């Protein structure tokens, strides 16, 4: 519930206070009313993997330059999220993938460039997964459901990227920071547009509050230990996500269905 409220802090323009307060009250009530359901159809904690933690290799079987670069990107986003950009040294980055600190500069000119590249890679994967799910759905309602499932699935597997995106974007050079902000704006616009088709009674301001609440809730959920390790987290996030978006629970009988009539 607190995460859903905190989503308001990501608004680029302050909404009308009374309307925002009324909607936040509605969101909190919706979150607290959610009950557990079945098994999540998204990857659980045991399927997430640990980016950047590759099995140890024997002598002479190390990865080539491209594979090493990918390892560094994965390790960087994990370490920057867990410790903060200023608290991670090149020696620590190198050690995470089995090389010396100075060897990092064979792949990236600076630690700042490594941060920018790791966030770009995360954005590319997020857009590919979520946009792909939305584009393949039939109609706005199905697209919103598919997007929600894809976003929760991505978050469960990429909590470090979401954390680094939120905490370290301000460390980027101005051009890289603008690119990150532009991506967030476009990503938000896609969701707001879908939600307004599904809930035509919501204006743009209300839809933005709901979508920001969704992002904050999911992003916090996958990073809030020890609760982030629970095996039913995916199902909870899907149900909570539907609640803050103002959608009926997925298992709600359709009007006139046998379950509804009985």
Are 219 and 143 contained in the same domain?
yes
Element (H, E) at 210: helix 204-223
Are 239 and 162 contained in the same domain?
yes
What distances in angstroms separate CA 252 from CA 37, 118, 122, 210, 260, one per listed residue?
11, 40, 34, 20, 9
Range of the domain at 98: 65-112
What's the predicted TM-score (pTM) here? 0.83
Are 106 and 124 contained in the same domain?
no
Kindly state the tokens that stand for 189.
């616009």
Residue 233 lies in a domain: yes
Kindly state the tokens that stand for 167.
């905490």
Per-residue model confidence as pLDDT tens for the chain (262 residues): 999 999 988 877 777 888 899 999 999 999 999 987 754 444 443 444 433 333 333 334 456 777 899 999 999 999 999 999 999 999 999 999 999 999 999 999 999 999 999 999 999 999 999 999 999 999 999 999 999 999 999 999 999 999 999 899 999 999 999 999 999 999 999 999 999 999 999 999 999 999 999 999 999 999 988 888 889 999 999 999 999 999 998 754 433 434 444 4
Residue 43 lies in a domain: yes
Are 196 and 216 contained in the same domain?
yes
- How many Cβ atoms sit within 10 Å of the Cβ of residue 63? 14
Last residue of a domain, one of 85, 112, 139: 112
- Say which residue the tokens 């370290």 belong to: 168
Kindly state the tokens that stand for 241.
């996500």
Are 164 and 191 contained in the same domain?
yes
Q: Closest by alpha carbon to 172, among 85, 101, 261, 103? A: 85
| Backbone dihedral angles phi then psi of residue 35, each to the nearest 5 degrees | -120, 155
Please state the domain count of the chain.
2
Length, in residues, of the chain: 262
Spatial distance between the Cα atoms of 56 and 192, rounded to a whole number of angstroms: 44
């Amino acid at each position: 519930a607190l995460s859903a409220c905190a989503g308001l802090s990501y608004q680029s323009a302050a909404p009308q206070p009374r309307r925002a307060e009324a909607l936040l009250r509605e969101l909190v009530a919706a979150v607290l009313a959610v009950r557990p359901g079945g098994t999540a159809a998204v990857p659980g904690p045991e399927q997430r993997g640990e980016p950047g933690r590759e099995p140890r290799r024997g002598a002479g079987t190390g990865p080539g330059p491209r594979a090493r670069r990918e390892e560094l990107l994965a390790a960087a986003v994990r370490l920057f999220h867990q410790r903060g950009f200023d608290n991670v040294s090149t020696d620590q980055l190198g050690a995470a993938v089995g090389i010396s600190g100075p060897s990092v500069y064979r792949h990236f000119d600076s630690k700042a460039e490594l941060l920018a590249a790791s966030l770009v890679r995360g954005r590319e994967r997020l857009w590919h997964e979520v946009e792909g799910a939305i584009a393949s759905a039939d109609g706005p309602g199905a697209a919103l459901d598919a997007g929600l499932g894809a976003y929760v699935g991505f978050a469960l597997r990429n909590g470090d990227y979401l954390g680094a995106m939120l905490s370290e974007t301000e460390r980027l050079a101005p051009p890289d920071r603008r690119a990150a902000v532009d991506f967030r704006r476009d990503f938000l616009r896609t969701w707001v547009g879908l939600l307004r088709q599904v809930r035509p009674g919501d204006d743009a301001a209300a839809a933005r509050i709901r979508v920001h609440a969704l992002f904050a809730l999911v992003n916090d959920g996958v990073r809030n230990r020890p609760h982030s390790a629970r095996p039913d987290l995916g199902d909870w996030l899907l149900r909570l996500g539907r609640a803050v978006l103002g959608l009926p629970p997925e298992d709600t009988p359709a009007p006139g269905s046998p379950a509804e009539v009985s």
